[in-house]
Amino acid sequence: MSTATIRPGWVQRRLAPVLKAVLGCVFRLLYRVEVRGLEHYRAAGERAIVVSNHVSLMDAALLATFLPGRPSLAVVEAMRRSLWLRPWLLLVDVFHIDPTSPLAMISVVRALKRGGRCVMFPEGRISVTGALMKVYDGPAVVAARSRTPVLPVWIEGAEGSPFSLSRGAVPIRWFPRITLTIGPARRIELPRSVGGRRRRQLAGEMLYDLMTEAAFEADNRDRTLFEAILDARARYGGGRLVFEDMERKPISYDRLVLAAMVLGPRLARVAPPGGAIGVLMPNAVGTAVVFTTLQAIGRVPAMLNFTVGPTQAAQACRAADLKVVVTARRFITAAKLEALTAALAGVAEILYLEDVRASLTTRERLAGMWRAQQARAWHRRHRVAPGAPAVILFTSGSENLPKGVALSHGNLIANCRQLRVRVDFSPSDVLFNALPVFHSFGLTGGLVLPVLSGFKAFLYPSPLHYRVVPEAVYACDATMMFGTDTFLNAYGRVAHPYDFRSVRYIFSGAEKLREETRRLWADRFGVRVLEGYGATETGPVLAVNTPMFATPGAVGRLLPGIRYRLEPVDGITEGGRLLVAGPNIMLGYLKTDGSGVLEPPPDGWHDTGDIATVDDHGFVRIVGRLKRFAKVAGEMVSLGAAEALVLSLWPDQRHAVIAAADNRKGEQLVLVTEHRGAERTVLAEHAHRQGVSELLIPRTVMVVDEVPIFGTGKVDYVRVQAMVAEHRAGRRAA
């Protein structure tokens, strides 16, 4: 027999309800067990496959105790003989599976068709990371063949108990709070045209998505960002270090909250509740303190980009209606930003942290220590709604003037949660972040994600220090990095092969990851660069390649909770315009008139402006930006594809392709390049060898000393366009 249902005797069945009631009381007393979503369990019907994550030795006991009725538990022979598991088997019908038998799957399908609920652990083992590990496709295939709905159950908290195997990855406590969240039942329906290995793969992907969506929905409480920080402090311990910078004075949760409680009353005086306060600061511990303080007092930090000119910075202040900008004299002097602050002083008051710190009295410091002991209660007096703005960011303005983007507390928390259920971050990780926190990638990924997830972030002030960054990564033993293609390529070229010895994950975003950069890191450092995709308006992450699912050339699969649609665009045959909706989508744009009025996305759908495709496995590929297309001789031509052609010929320099007016063909492509020997004839020969359409060959080549970029590494196409216009005007005048 490949499978067998082993039922206990009459006496054991009589004792089971009593034992279940007693164990329920014990679990609730020790672990404060909470069960959510029982209505989904009842609505699933009498026949269902219950799938659960596997984080501890208690999991089977928890499910047997708290799931209604008497479900069947699928176990292998080794588990059935386990002394630890044997007492809990009195509460369930044991469904013995022989994985060595080729007929096992057929037997399971037949048994399920007869009715009943069967509990399975698709991971096949207890997680050692605390997060979801490899999900086997067996339960999904069984569900598809037997037409049985799948009911996800997410166990949270047990990974932090002494019965967990994830020691070192999750803080261990004797009696952590445990929740069991039951999600809605779903059927796994596979296309009939798909068979064999691909069919199993699709089934496994669908099951994985179902479980990660259940994990995401398991913690959908409404709370502010500061409340989420306090929850993380309670979970990971107040003494855990969360931020460090080049001063090498790391700060813990307790010190972060204490600093917020001391500084909070002072900053609360300069703006009304819910009002915005400008933050002009670099990647540093002090910035994390200011950001946390503003969250604690219910004010909205507006993260100002100090790499733009004074005019754009002043426009950002007007758009967000900023009356006060917080900064530090030391930073202004070191970064030579006197002209910028002079421009900002014309529209807002400049508040220097050194002055605030020097004027704090002993009484204020003691009062702050008292408030830190009851931070949650004190925060309630300043609390705003979770749906209110938590931060104001500004788009890069790479193609037009920057816009203010308001993200809510729920947006930021949801985006971090979406990432955490897909990637196995753990408190033992150290993130190195050199991306500026005025950029959404640097803020959410480098500041908010670490403090909510319990791992330390090393904040470095500039991504442009190509030779220093690798040394800093080596010195702080970083296990993860965030970066853009431009920066990662530069680091990889100058770094010592041992500088990234401790790094296990590198996530790339903000611009397309070149194949050359991917190969450089794989060949020289043995690290896989995982490309992601997003926008300031989406928190920012929409999709990301993960260790579980990664495809070179794609930007990953959409995160849980995100819906999408592709709208056709005239003249473009590959892909469609990508629109997205979900819990991480912004509240809206700030009007530039300074009124503070938000323009929300229509019906909650954000138009990314990107042309994308989504394949059968859910991988998103970005064809190009809609604004980054030109109409040449009646054909739509991707400027991104033209840049990729140039990069394939001259990969060591930076290039930008823009569209300019053309009297004969409507528009023409203009190449702005740093390659000294760039000639159109050489590029045309390369295009012909590659079999590329002649429409992708720029008609004009313009060599410059440096292609302008933002502090985030993105090409500043507005300045490039201005350079080309000036060049063409000069030629006409000559």
Q: So which residues are the catalytic ones? A: 54
Compute the distance between CA of residue 293 and CA of residue 353 in angstroms, rounded to an integer.
Answer: 13
HSE of 362 in the Cβ direction (CA atoms, 13 Å)? Answer: 0
Instruction: Record the tokens describing residue 330, joined without a space.
Output: 């030391």
Which conformational region is residue 372 in: left (phi greater than 0), alpha (psi within -120 to 50 degrees), or beta? alpha
Burial call 144-166: b when 16+ CB within 10 Å, e when fewer: bbbebbbbbbbbbbbbbbebbbb
Sequential DSSP letters for 367-414: HHHHHHHTHHHHHHTT---TTSEEEEEE---SSS---EEEEEHHHHHH
Report yes or no: 674 and 654 within 8 Å, Cβ to Cβ. Answer: yes
What's the burial of 636, exposed, middle or buried (CB within 10 Å: 0-12/13-18/19+)? middle
Instruction: Record the tokens describing residue 133, joined without a space.
Output: 């590990």
Instruction: Record the tokens describing residue 661, joined without a space.
Output: 């007016």
Report yes or no: 112 and 49 within 8 Å, Cβ to Cβ. Answer: yes
Task: Order across the sheet with 324-327: list the strands.
Answer: 349-352, 324-327, 276-279, 300-303, 389-394, 404-408, 588-590, 598-599
Report yes or no: 433 and 460 within 8 Å, Cβ to Cβ. Answer: yes
Compute the distance between CA of residue 109 and CA of residue 600 in angstroms, rounded to an integer.
Answer: 48
Report yes or no: 524 and 497 within 8 Å, Cβ to Cβ. Answer: yes
Report yes or no: 298 and 389 within 8 Å, Cβ to Cβ. Answer: no
What's the burial of 682, exposed, middle or buried (CB within 10 Å: 0-12/13-18/19+)? middle
Instruction: Record the tokens describing residue 107, joined without a space.
Output: 């037997």
Helices and strands of the chain, counted as H and E runs: 25, 34
Contacts 24+ apart (CB under 8 A), 627-632: 627/399, 628/399, 629/572, 630/659, 630/667, 630/668, 630/669, 631/571, 631/666, 631/667, 632/662, 632/665, 632/666, 632/667, 632/668, 632/669, 632/695
Compute the distance between CA of residue 349 and CA of residue 322 in angstroms, rounded to an integer.
Answer: 9
